[in-house]
Amino acid sequence: MNDKTYEKKKKAAQTKKSPQITDVFTVICKTDIGVTCVKELKFHPVRKWRFDYAIPDYKVALEVEGGVWSGGRHTSSKGFLGDMEKYNTATLMGWKVLRTTPDELYRLKTIEMVKNACFNTFLLENSTKTDKKMPKK
C-alpha cells in the first residue's frame, strides 16, 4: 500500500468516526434547553435538503435566513420559492420549522422560541411585540 492510499483510508476512517458538527448554537441548546441539536441535518430521504439546525428528538428545525437586507439567495424569487417547497415539505413530514436571521441566532428570544417549540410551552400573552398584556377572555 502506498502512502497516498494509506492517507485516503485514514482520512475516510476519521470522517466516519467524527462526531456531528458542534458549534456555539448546538452547545447552547444542550446547556440551556437540555436538548441535542444537530447542525446541517439532512431530513429528506430523497432530496438533498438540510436544516441549518435540527432537534430530531422533537422534530424542531431552525433555519437561519441570511441576506435578508442584502438581497441574498433567500430573497431571490427562485430561492424564496425553493425555500417554500422545502419548508412546506418539512411541515408535512411533521417538522416544526422556525426561522431566524444570523443577527438573532444567539439572542434569548430565539433560544426561548426553540425551547417553546420543543416543549409546547408557547404562551400567547408573551408573544406580543410590546410589553402590553393580551386582554383576558
Domain boundaries, the chain: 35-117
Q: If 0-12 CB within 10 Å is exposed, 13-18 middle and 19+ buried, where does residue 61 land? A: buried
pLDDT digits (tens, 9 = 90+) for 21-50: 569 999 999 999 999 999 999 999 999 999
Under CATH, which architecture does the 35-117 domain have? 3-Layer(aba) Sandwich (3.40)
Average pLDDT of the chain to the nearest whole number = 82
Alpha-carbon gap, residue 46 to 49, rounded angstroms = 9
CA distances from 10 to 1, 7, 15, 99, 105 (A): 12, 5, 9, 38, 36
Amino acid 8: pLDDT: 54
Quick one: average pLDDT of 71-84? 75
User: In terms of DSSP bridges, do strands 60-64 and 96-100 run parallel, antiparallel, or are they unpaired?
Assistant: parallel
Q: For residue 58, which of 129, 115, 136 has the smallest C-alpha distance?
A: 115
pLDDT digits (tens, 9 = 90+) for 81-108: 999 999 999 999 999 999 999 999 999 9
